[in-house]
Amino acid sequence: IYERNRIKSPTIQTADMSGSQQQEQPQEQPQEQSQEQPQEQPQEQPQEQPQEQPQEKRSGEPTDYDVLVIGAGISGLAAANELLRLRPDCRVAVVEAKDRVGGRTLGHRMRTAGGGEANFDLGGMWIGPSQRNISELMRQLHIEQYPQYLTGRKCAEMGAKVAQYTGEIPYIGLVGLLDMGKVLVQMERRVRQVDAADPGACRTAAQLDGLTGQALFNSLSWSRATKCLVQAAARTIWGAALSRMSALYMLAYASAAGGFQALVASDAQSGQGFRMKGGAHQICQRLAERLGPQRVLLSAPVAAVRQLDDRVCLDIVGRSAPLTARYAVSSAPPHLLAQLDWQPPLPARKLDLYRCSPVGHIFKFVITYETAFWRELGYSGEIVSADGPPTAPGLTAAPISVCFDYSQEGGHDPALVVLSGGLQAQELDGLSPEQRRSAVLEHISRFFPRDRVLDCLDFAEKNWRHEPFNGGCPVNIVSAGAAHLMGPNMRAPFGRVHFAGTETATEWCGFMDGAVQSGHRAAEEVSQRLGGQ
């Protein structure tokens, strides 16, 4: 239904990939103009743009709105829907660079047991019981959830050693367990000292921001096993090594999740405790259906954001006339915002923060089988690998970061899901699809019978680094020395432009829950300003 609204555009340079609460004014504002001044708008952009001549707007197609939302991921679509709930007469439209809605969620149809087919998520997929924002949205959209399968033995690989366990932490020796316990206690204490809404207000913010996450862990732990497990968790959570991020940012991120253990755990109470029936990609599809095709403009990459006295103008690639609105909401990731042409320019601190917020690198693999043989053998399907031996030429370590059971509710459509992040994902990027498939299956064969692992029905991969107008996944990290700029600078409106996106969330930042929270927060901010004029 959105086919009619696509705005065809010429080939565009691919950008690197991929809200919260009070409306805070940015520390820097462009010269005062009547009313307020704008802020940035990047976008999540579509798959590679076709080489076609730009088209003029269709006859009767509006160009002027009350609010324009940049990005048709969960955050942007949640913002648009919330605006219409608050103000049913609001003229709102969502502008999306890609040729699809969904952002960092993506469904993919695969062959399954018994000759059937089913949809699987190649993007975001898990939710947790404490994630109230996404849970409420699912209720409104009539999407049910079911628990992640966790029954059975788990497997952990540290170097050349493979261990099986049933608790939360693999047995790493008495000394290793004591060290892990000490590290978790000390991390929780530090997390409680950092406010996710304003990390820079922490008493030790300057000291923590001067450290990398790896340096902080090195100061707390002396066990190699502990460090290996934490590094494996980081590659999955952020798609990046701890050495690439600020310790202050890492603590703020954990604070938004309710604690460090809540962030890294994989039990029923964690952020990975449940999945959605039918897949998480339904969220954006149903939100877009609520808006209607006339309010969702696809294949419309924003090139520039220009703020006038009383309007925001969005210059769209391949379109001769700009779209204008009284206000705009950007849900694009920080690194994309830094690439847009802003007139007037973004405040210096906001721009510096965006430029110091690289996006993670994640490969996701889904493998379907005729039977869930790992369950039959007493395994949960969960694997954690920390620097295992490589399984293909060109790799310095084994490719898997984590693996989980991905069978549908009740064990139907047996499948495994594999995530590879950080350096592991970067190395996989240098292999061919056939080499990646072989490397991943060979790695799983270290834990389960090789003949059964190789006998899969279907194998799908998603390299989020190559996703146009995302350039990575799952979230933007913040480099050491820049995290003190977070908080108000990440969320503060810039003139007539407000900011959403999971990176701006104060609850479950980086997750689908944070995307919903930030979208609703930005919608409330704009609604208040509309009400005053």
The CA distance from 454 to 340, in Å, is 45
Model confidence at 154, in pLDDT bands (50, 70, 90)? Answer: very high
The CA distance from 231 to 240, in Å, is 9
The CATH topology of domain 107-129+144-152+360-466 is: Polyamine Oxidase; Chain A, domain 2 (3.90.660)
- Tokens 């295992």: give the residue: 388
pLDDT over 90 at 429, yes or no = yes
Average the pLDDT over 301-317 and give the result: 96
List, in order, residues 6 or more apart from 296 with CB less than 8 Å away: 2, 5, 72, 93, 94, 96, 101, 288
CB neighbours of residue 113 within 10 Å: 18
**pLDDT of amino acid 412:** 96
Percent of the chain with pLDDT over 90: 80
Average the pLDDT over 400-413 and give the result: 96
Average the pLDDT over 188-202 and give the result: 96
Q: Confirm whether residue 96 is marked as ligand binding.
A: yes
The CA distance from 395 to 385, in Å, is 14
List, in order, residues 6 or more apart from 60 with CB less than 8 Å away: none
The CA distance from 476 to 501, in Å, is 11
- Cis, peptide link before residue 334, omega less than 30° from 0: no
**What pLDDT, in 10s, does the model give residues 17-59?**
333 333 334 344 434 343 444 444 444 444 444 444 444 444 4
List, in order, residues 6 or more apart from 243 with CB less than 8 Å away: 212, 213, 214, 215
**What pLDDT, in 10s, does the model give residues 356-370?**
999 999 999 999 999
**pLDDT of amino acid 533:** 53
Sign of the four-CA dihedral 198, 200, 202, 205 = positive
What is the three-state SS of 190-209?
A: HHHCCCCCCHHHCCCHHHHH
The CA distance from 127 to 415, in Å, is 19
Reported residue count of the chain is: 533
pLDDT over 50 at 158, yes or no = yes
Q: Confirm whether residue 522 is marked as ligand binding.
A: no
List, in order, residues 6 or more apart from 524 with CB less than 8 Å away: 23, 82, 86
Average the pLDDT over 71-81 and give the result: 98
Q: Confirm whether residue 401 is marked as ligand binding.
A: no
The CA distance from 334 to 78, in Å, is 18
**pLDDT of amino acid 27:** 40
Domain boundaries, the chain: 3-9+33-52+62-103+281-357+478-531, 107-129+144-152+360-466, 171-264
Query: What secondary structure does DSSP assign to 501-515, as a single string?
Result: SGGG-SSSTTSHHHH
pTM confidence score: 0.87
**pLDDT of amino acid 55:** 42
Is 437 in a helix, a strand, or coil? Answer: helix
Output the CATH code of domain 171-264: 1.10.405.10
Contact predicate 299/8, CB 8 Å: yes
Residue 121, H or E segment: strand 116-121
Please state which of the ranges 159-168, 424-433, 455-464, 505-514 shows the lowest mean pLDDT: 159-168
Residue 93, H or E segment: strand 92-95
Q: Confirm whether residue 280 is marked as ligand binding.
A: no
Q: Confirm whether residue 97 is marked as ligand binding.
A: yes
Instruction: Count CA atoms closer than 13 A to 272's CA, side-chain side.
Output: 19
- Bridge partners for 314 per DSSP: 305, 323
Q: CA dist 527 to 75, 82, 305, 474, Å?
A: 16, 9, 20, 29
Please state which of the ranges 49-53, 233-237, 242-246, 325-329 shows the lowest mean pLDDT: 49-53
CATH number for domain 3-9+33-52+62-103+281-357+478-531, candidates 3.50.50.60, 3.30.499.10, 3.40.710.10, 3.30.450.20? 3.50.50.60
Q: Counting beta carbons within 10 angstroms of the beta carbon of residue 31, is it exposed (0 to 12), middle (13 to 18) or buried (19 or more)? A: exposed
pLDDT over 60 at 200, yes or no = yes
Angle of the 512-531 helix axis to the 132-141 helix axis, nearest 10: 80
Average pLDDT, the chain: 89
- Among 159-163, 268-272, 414-418, 423-427, the range with the most confident prediction by mean pLDDT is 414-418
CA-closest candidate to residue 189, choices 237, 261, 131: 261
Please tell me which residue, 102 or 31, carries the higher pLDDT value. 102
List, in order, residues 6 or more apart from 135 with CB less than 8 Å away: 127, 129, 145, 513
Is 141 in a helix, a strand, or coil? Answer: helix
pLDDT over 90 at 70, yes or no = yes
**What pLDDT, in 10s, does the model give residues 482-496?**
999 998 899 999 999
Contact predicate 92/295, CB 8 Å: yes
